[in-house]
Amino acid sequence: MDIILSDIPVLCITSPSGVTGSKETFDKLETKLPSLKKRKFYGVLSGTPDNGTYRACVCLLKGDNPKTLGLETWIIPGGKYARAKIVDWEKNLDKIGPTFDELLKHYALDPTRPTIEFYRSEAELFLLLPIK
């Protein structure tokens, strides 16, 4: 299934060790927020898992002050994305890479935009592959 996303303004932290540091980067992001309620979280990879830039992101809400929170601002680029869902994602983190690989078999990648993990809930993770 494919969807069209609008640009998403976010607060974020860039992982110093790429995808391998994703958990630590999300932990750091969460500790900087006054509350996690009503927040939308994204993991965003620009480039490849081996040498790309990974960001832990949260949607920018009215009233958020990036400087006070000590967070970067960034925009997740909109456009056309192929989508797949992983249920019980915390127990299935090992399925993220293979699921993106499966999407790549069916869609033409747009390498100018990042791949996105949208943490919809504690139970659902949507993987978004940028497509042409």
Is residue 50 over pLDDT 90?
A: no
Average pLDDT, rounded, for the chain: 95
Q: Tens of pLDDT along 69-93?
A: 999 999 999 999 999 999 999 999 9
Query: Residue 53: what pLDDT?
Result: 96
Angle at 76 between CA 75 and CA 78, to 5 degrees: 115
* pTM beyond 0.85: yes
Q: Where do the structural domains in the chain lie, given as residue ranges?
A: 2-130
The residue with greater pLDDT, 122 or 81, is 81
Phi-psi region of 22 (alpha: psi -120 to 50; beta: other; left: phi over 0): alpha
CATH 3.20.80.10 is held by the domain 2-130: yes
